[in-house]
Structure 1
Amino acid sequence: MSTVSDMVSTYPKDLGGVDREKLIACIEECFRCAQACTACADACLSEDSVAELTKCIRTNTDCADVCDTTGRVLSRHTGYDANVTRAVLQACAAACKACGDECGQHASMHEHCRVCAEACRACEKACQDLLATLG
């Protein structure tokens, strides 16, 4: 079990029908993606071709911030607002798609972009999977 799973399982109230497994997966993917995007942006800054990676760096940092925020919002259950949760998940999926697409363009030249693109696609899918359960 992960820390995320442990914390969700110890929540003292009912989660209101939220699919626990998809919630746990989404929180984990959000934090995993935030880390990958942060590290990818930093790696891009170390590349000799840094000027060509400006959009990638910007997309990485935006995605990292959105994923981190989404993971934190999903980790809070008291006073849960499904409309806010849906909006945050939609924003996260959009940021992950944009970043995954951008990093995917550089994946053959920069291994860190390949790894980041994979993390972004996994997070996008986790957000969509959780969204599908919220109606």
Structure 2
Amino acid sequence: MTSTTSQQELFRFLEDRFACAQACTECARACALRASLVDPDGTENQDLVRRKGILCAEVCDATCRVLSEQNQVDEAGIRAQVEWCRTVCLESARVFEAHPGAEETAEACRACARACTDFLATLS
């Protein structure tokens, strides 16, 4: 492996890591907002949307913090956190898609899941 290849891989890793952290931040904001808009005394479906929004916001926030810590978490820990985030985002997107008015939040979740997938590819 040449040093140029190593540099390119490092740049891609850092770009994907930053893009993933940024997507996590945006998703956390969208999910927190969505959770706050749902009537907590509403139907069972609204309660599911509210709980899923809170969970997704918390997982995305935690993932962003892990990605922002320089070398304090090993690769296995980062991989586990990002995979968990991707799973929660995909589950949340499915819940939000079924809830009128939550389409933008569903898209933020899907975008975050894609960013997580792209970043995980740099870890392989």
| TM-score, shorter chain, exceeding 0.5 | yes
The answer to whether 1:67 aligns with 2:60 is: yes
Equivalent residues in 2 for 1:1-135 (5 A)? Answer: 17=10, 19-45=13-39, 50-51=42-43, 52-106=45-99, 109-110=100-101, 113-135=102-124
Structure 2: gaps spanning 5 or more residues: 1-8
After TM superposition, give the deviation of residue 45 of structure 1 in Å. 2.3
State the TM-score, normalized to the length of structure 1.
Answer: 0.79
State the TM-score, normalized to the length of structure 2.
Answer: 0.86
Q: Where does structure 1 differ by over 3 angstroms across 4 or more consecutive aligned residues? A: none
| Backbone CA RMSD of aligned residues | 1.9
Q: In percent, how many aligned pairs have the same letter?
A: 35
Structure 1: gaps spanning 5 or more residues: 1-15
CA contact (8 A) 2:66 2:73 kept: no
After TM superposition, give the deviation of residue 79 of structure 1 in Å. 3.3
- Structure 2 counterpart of 1:39, one-letter code: L
**Which SS does the other structure have where 2:39 is aligned?**
helix
The number of equivalent residue pairs is 115
- Structure 1 counterpart of 2:30, one-letter code: A
1: CA distance, partners of 2:47 / 2:73? 37
1: CA distance, partners of 2:25 / 2:93? 15
